[in-house]
Amino acid sequence: MRFDLNVCFSFSADVASIKKDVESFLKGYSKSLAEKDKTISFKKISITGNVLCFDIVSSGVLRPHNVLLNLKNNITREFGKKHHVGVREITVKGYTIEFEVIRKPLKKIVIPFADVFFDGTKVTMVLKQVDEGFLRRNYIDRMISLVKEKVERQYYEGKSEFWKVIWKSEEKKPVWYKDPTEEMIRRGWLQPGPSKGKWFYRPQAAAILKTMKKIAEEEVLLPLGFKEVVESNIVPFDIWLRTGHLEGMPSEFYYVVEPVTRDVEHWERFIDLAKITKEVPFEELKKNVTPPVGGICYAQCPMIYWSFKGKTIAEKSLPVLVYEKTVVSARYESGGRHGIERVDEFHRIEPVYIGTREQLLSLKDKLIQRYKHVFNDIFDLEWRMAWVTPWYMQQAGEIDSEDTHPRDTGTIDFEAYLPYRGSREKGEWLEFQNLSILGDKYVKAFNIKAQKSMLWSGCSGIGLERWVVVFLAQKGLNPDKWPEGFRKYLDKIPEGIEFL
């Protein structure tokens, strides 16, 4: 790596008269730095009036942007004392950084704040006019990482996600081949709307959805000692900044805004327009609400982690086993929407577990055992488990695609055959839930500690609509044909509301 920072210091008074002093100070300073890093040097020193400009060049461990602030303090001390001049302003005129990437990019790469040029695997990143704060805030290092990540992603994009079956049930003969959503709409159990990807569950469909919730709690979570927590539905951005969701899925969030004020007078024009036009006065509304302050829950785990932020957990409380089942998850699925299995607002139960590595690995086995009990003994499903690489690990390059063995950390997807989508081989199976062990990623992000132990965490996203779809797609809508285990929970559909 090679760094060339061109910077100017403006002083409170003329420094041309003390040129010799300035030059010898910089020489001395550069010598002291050279003891730590031989490659660093000051070049092109020029002094005009009260402005001193120079380049800091290095290709070693000391990076000019890190040196700069210390240099400022030293200059202030030296010249304040000796010559009674202070530093008014530091202006970075340009910063050129050269570094190598592993592979050459497949197409053009752009990033904010800099122009990026490639010569094979050699990158030249040119920044113009950045302020001191920019350098202080570690942006430079992140920009370098971003370029590297973008190159790697270009290679990754073409490949399909890493996926390997680790267990599968035997084949089961489906009761029917229909799409349960369409059939439920036809029978009036379920109503599409009121807006994109949302649904209204009439008593018949609601009973099935509620049964899934009950089974998940009674057959999986409570027997394993999980305790219920209740979180807020609105997630402030700082939580997603810490978990990485903000940069991971900004195009999937439902954003939340607040009124600028609760003062009704401020809303008078909006109210009047609504009264007169009987339409939503969008232009007026824009003026009366803030920019987004957060979003609707995407998954429950980020806020659960937030609730433990900065805490030290007593050994006797480990492993922490909690679950959330009250808030809905909202995701802008756009073109992917289908039936109740891919919707913009859905019901999930999410257990989160925090404990030692050993505790979590043993819990993972127990969870899988309980899940198997539900899907085999109660639902009698045709399903499988696959080891997959989650997006954040792909991005961070933490797993390579040649890796075929499940590791301690990672995600297992639970997938089921949907008869209405065609043959087992050709039709796409539906992921109806997953289970992750995430190592120390989130406990680190939220600074969660134990008295002695090193902590790991994980979560499992139980998609209730997906449970409904896979069950009904294989077992049909007639309770008489449902497996005995399930009939213990629900053996008849509540009578519907008759419409004339």
What does the binding site for Zn ion look like in residue numbers (CB under 5 A)?
A: 299, 301, 459
Q: Which residue has the tokens 């808030």?
A: 327
Q: Is 434 a catalytic residue?
A: yes
Q: What is the phi/psi pair of residue 141, to 5°?
A: -60, -40
Q: Is 297 a catalytic residue?
A: no
Contacts of 437 (CB under 8 A, 6+ apart): 360, 361, 364, 408, 409, 410, 456, 458
- Residue whose CB is less far from ligand ATP, 138 or 401: 401
What part of residues 433-452 is at the interface with ligand ATP (CB under 6 A)? 433-434
By CB under 6 A, which span of 35-43, 61-69, 372-380, 461-469 interacts with ligand ATP?
461-469
User: Which of 4, 152, 219, 413 is flagged as catalytic?
Assistant: 413
Residue nearest to ligand ATP (CB): 463
Find the DSSP H helices in 409-463. Answer: 441-445
Q: How many CA atoms lie within 13 A of 240 on its CB side?
A: 22
- Residue whose CB is less far from Zn ion, 301 or 473: 301
From the list 318, 343, 385, 470, which residue makes contact with ligand ATP (rule: CB under 6 A)?
343
Q: Is 413 a catalytic residue?
A: yes
User: Which of 219, 350, 382, 465 is flagged as catalytic?
Assistant: 350
Question: In terms of C-beta density within 10 A (0-12 exposed, 13-18 middle, 19 or more buried), how is residue 442 classed?
Answer: buried
User: Which of 333, 380, 398, 440 is flagged as catalytic?
Assistant: 333
**Interacting partner of 431 out of ligand ATP, Zn ion, none (Cβ under 5 to 8 A depending on kind):** ligand ATP
The alpha carbon torsion through 339, 341, 346, 352 (nearest 10 deg) reads: 180
Q: Which residue has the tokens 């009698």?
A: 380
Question: In terms of C-beta density within 10 A (0-12 exposed, 13-18 middle, 19 or more buried), how is residue 282 classed?
Answer: exposed
- Residue whose CB is less far from ligand ATP, 62 or 215: 215
Can residue 371 be called a binding residue for ligand ATP (CB under 6 A)? no
Q: How many CA atoms lie within 13 A of 25 on its CB side?
A: 19
Can residue 384 be called a binding residue for ligand ATP (CB under 6 A)? no
By CB under 6 A, which span of 171-179, 263-271, 336-344, 483-491 interacts with ligand ATP?
336-344
- Residue whose CB is less far from ligand ATP, 63 or 348: 348
User: Which of 63, 242, 348, 466 is flagged as catalytic?
Assistant: 466
Distance CA 446, CA 448 (A): 6
Q: Is 78 a catalytic residue?
A: no
Angle at the Cα of 146 from the Cα atoms of 442 and 33, rounded to 5 degrees = 100
Residue nearest to Zn ion (CB): 301
- Residue whose CB is less far from Zn ion, 385 or 438: 438
Q: What is the smallest separation between the CB atom of 152 and ligand ATP, expressed in angstroms? A: 21
- Residue whose CB is less far from ligand ATP, 72 or 210: 210
- Residue whose CB is less far from Zn ion, 299 or 477: 299
From the list 14, 333, 380, 398, which residue makes contact with ligand ATP (rule: CB under 6 A)?
333
By CB under 6 A, which span of 202-210, 339-347, 359-367, 473-481 interacts with ligand ATP?
339-347
From the list 209, 299, 385, 459, which residue makes contact with ligand ATP (rule: CB under 6 A)?
299
Q: Is 459 a catalytic residue?
A: yes
**Interacting partner of 4 out of Zn ion, ligand ATP, none (Cβ under 5 to 8 A depending on kind):** none
**Interacting partner of 217 out of ligand ATP, Zn ion, none (Cβ under 5 to 8 A depending on kind):** none
- The tokens for 146 are 């971003």
Q: Is 98 a catalytic residue?
A: no
Q: What is the smallest separation between the CB atom of 431 and ligand ATP, expressed in angstroms? A: 5
Q: Is 265 a catalytic residue?
A: no
Can residue 244 be called a binding residue for ligand ATP (CB under 6 A)? no
Q: Is 100 a catalytic residue?
A: no
Distance CA 47, CA 45 (A): 7
Q: Which residue has the tokens 């779809």?
A: 469
Can residue 380 be called a binding residue for ligand ATP (CB under 6 A)? no
**Interacting partner of 459 out of Zn ion, ligand ATP, none (Cβ under 5 to 8 A depending on kind):** Zn ion
- Residue whose CB is less far from Zn ion, 189 or 432: 432
Can residue 389 be called a binding residue for ligand ATP (CB under 6 A)? no
- Residue whose CB is less far from Zn ion, 181 or 300: 300
What's the helix, strand, coil split of the chain in %, to 5? Answer: 40, 25, 35
Q: Which of 21, 54, 23, 22 is nearest to 40 (CA)?
A: 54
By CB under 6 A, which span of 175-183, 432-440, 475-483, 490-498 interacts with ligand ATP?
432-440
Q: What is the smallest separation between the CB atom of 459 and Zn ion, expressed in angstroms? A: 3
Phi-psi region of 52 (alpha: psi -120 to 50; beta: other; left: phi over 0): beta
Can residue 461 be called a binding residue for ligand ATP (CB under 6 A)? yes
Q: Which of 471, 494, 473 is nearest to 483 (CA)?
A: 471
State the residues that interact with ligand ATP by CB under 6 A: 299, 331, 333, 341-343, 346, 348, 431-434, 461, 463, 465-466
Active site (catalytic) residues: 301, 331, 333, 342, 350, 413, 431, 434, 459, 466
